[in-house]
Amino acid sequence: MRTRSRARHTALAAACLLAVSSLTACANEVAGTTSSGSGGHGEKVKIMVGGLDKVIYLPAMLTQRLGYFRDAGLDVELLTEPAGVQAETALVSGQVQGCVGFYDHTLDLQVKGKSVESVVQFSHAPGEVEVVSAKRKGEITSPGDFKGRKLGVTGLGSSTDFLTKYLAVKHGVKINEFSPVAVGAGPTFIAALQQGSIDAGMTTDPTVATILEKKAGSVLVDMRTPEGSEKALGGPYPSSSLYMRTDWVNSHKPTVQKLADAFVRTLGWMSTHSADEIAAKMPADYSQGDKKLYAEAIKSTLPMFTKDGVMPENGPETVEKVLKAFNPNIKNADVDLKKTYTTEFAEKAAK
């Protein structure tokens, strides 16, 4: 009798444990935060990514898949938030040591009294695309038609929000004349476009590739290449990067160098391999069941990446110009661009 009772209690405990585990997983999914650890031994570092499955942030997961973090003597845990502004918050609050997100956050944070800097610059173009809903294709033919429209962004205060506001202002539309709508990326963005919750919006691959494949929308402004960035923004626009709190960088230089070594090694690997080869290294679920479409998305975005992780010349100035066009906090502030990035670690890694 006791044996049967003990067995019943054991089974009940196991069931409760499974239920708690399931609830925890669901809670993480609802919160938009998931993690991926290297599973290796070495110095532990947590990095928050503004969307791990976005092609613009591909070097983060690819570095882990290639084993370069492990080779550098690091045990890196990659976490993900759907929008860069949320990733930024995690960094500033000390939840993580690094953030893979847009460089422009370093300027925005500086005027708010927070000192952060890009230590590895992944790209010299935004990799972003403004797409127009198929229902509005004939009505929105340039950013000058944004007036009165609902425009999708990953999150309010995110880089997509920044860039959308700049495109509007550049084409004569005031930022209070349209409505930015936070719709995330991937399925939520596509659903918003199809359901009419937004008339147009800014997103990246692989979401762009899926929208075009489904004929749910068309490209209005393409900033996936340096040429596209030059046309839309007037110069190179350093975007995806590894940025960290300056005080942490200064007190953990050996660790930062290891991170730079790993990421720069990945950027070099990407420059000598095809989109198909890169796609094959990524988690299977990133392709969402269509490996060919995913590889095409990577191919479209590859031109945005640097080969050495070094900040492109005149890039910070372009970013400052863009932000000053619509952001009153930055427009009326003196930004010390030299404190928003460092080339020390990337240059050493490149050697």
CATH of the domain at 57: 3.40.190.10
Answer whether the bond into residue 206 is a cis peptide, omega within 30°. yes
Q: Per-residue pLDDT averaged across 230-236, rounded? A: 93
Residues 175 and 205 in one domain: yes
User: Does a structural domain hold residue 23?
Assistant: no
Residues 247 and 346 in one domain: yes
pLDDT reading at 24 higher than 50? no
Domain count for the chain: 2
Q: Per-residue pLDDT averaged across 313-329, rounded? A: 92
User: Does a structural domain hold residue 155?
Assistant: yes
User: Does a structural domain hold residue 17?
Assistant: no
- Which amino acid belongs to residue 23? L
pLDDT reading at 4 higher than 60? no
User: Does a structural domain hold residue 26?
Assistant: no
Residues 108 and 242 in one domain: yes
User: Does a structural domain hold residue 20?
Assistant: no
Looking at 28-37, 219-228, 277-286, 330-339, which range is the least confident one? 28-37
pLDDT reading at 327 higher than 90? no
- Could you count the other beta carbons within 10 Å of the beta carbon of residue 44? 13
Q: Per-residue pLDDT averaged across 225-229, rounded? A: 93
User: Which residue in 118, 107, 104, 101 sits closest to 60, CA to CA?
Assistant: 101
Q: Which two tokens stand for residue 233?
A: 């923004």
User: Does a structural domain hold residue 328?
Assistant: yes
pLDDT reading at 322 higher than 80? yes
User: Does a structural domain hold residue 242?
Assistant: yes
State which residues form the domain around 266. Answer: 34-125+237-350
Residues 107 and 77 in one domain: yes
User: Does a structural domain hold residue 211?
Assistant: yes
pLDDT reading at 77 higher than 90? yes
pLDDT reading at 246 higher than 80? yes
Domain-ending residue, one of 223, 250, 281: 223
The alpha carbon of 261 is separated from its chain's Cα centroid by a whole number of angstroms, namely 20
Q: What is the pTM of this model?
A: 0.84
